Amino acid sequence: IVFCGMCCQKYINTNMDERSVTTVRYVMKVLANGSETIIFVFLGISAIDKTIWVWNTGFILLTLFFIFVYRFIGVFFLTWILNRYRLVRVEFIDQLIMSYGGLRGAVAYGLATMLDEAKIKEKNLMVCTSLIVVYFTVILQGITMKPLVNWLKVKRAAVTDITLVEKLQNKVFDHMLVAIEDISGQIGHNYMRDKWNHFEEKWMSRILMKPSARKSRDYVFNVFHQLNLKDAMSYVEEVRSKISLEAIQV
């Protein structure tokens, strides 16, 4: 489901107009927030159910300890493998934040409640421990995450709009890298991406996209459309500011 959603998103957005895309995006956000709220309401109701509370201090503390240990081991081991092939290495501070930010939610609790009590006699202990893990990670780690990020001075991604020159440069570099791989006889990710784009343009787009959507998907036309939208928005803001100044002067 996740893979299908990731692959089909661009076709869905292209076949719909901008208003429909915006409406669908915000409706999905509302549904996601509502579902998350309902899940945590059920978690809160379960917390006051005395029948499921089977307390074992040693088991709970060991569970929390090993969750942290294996989270750190997994993150540091995988990033060590990735750093051997990355040009921009994942720094130690970033690995520490990823290890500390392992929040557990409704999935852990759902898996615990699905256990068969006839086969696992300590089901209530598992459910109780899962609730403690959820509350500990979501509340304690969630509250301390932002101060920890600020204290460690973690680099944050700068949100900037890509200019037309940068878009053209990226496109030129992509084609140059594909040509270099083709001449050298090596098959890298640029070669595979170019082949996939060719297959997508020849077959997938014709099947899943309307003719008008394929026309609007053209790169030059898309950039021209975005520039027109930006000019229109700046013009609206300029007119709005002039109207506000005139109203203040009156």
Task: Write down the pLDDT at residue 247.
Answer: 54
Using one digit for the tens of pLDDT, what is the confidence trace for 183-232?
777 766 667 777 777 787 777 777 777 776 666 555 555 666 667 767 77
What residue ranges of the chain have pLDDT lower than 50?
none
Q: Residues near 129 by Cβ (< 8 Å), separated by ≥ 6?
A: 56, 59, 60, 63, 112
Task: Write down the pLDDT at residue 224.
Answer: 62
Task: Write down the pLDDT at residue 54.
Answer: 84
Cα distance between residue 170 and residue 175, in whole Å: 9
Secondary structure letter of residue 48 according to DSSP: T
Return the axis-axis angle of helices 18-47 and 106-113, rounded to nearest 10°: 50
Task: Write down the pLDDT at residue 79.
Answer: 92
pTM of the model: 0.59
Q: By three-state DSSP, how is residue 180 classified?
A: helix
The total of other beta-carbon atoms located within 10 Å of residue 63's CB is 17
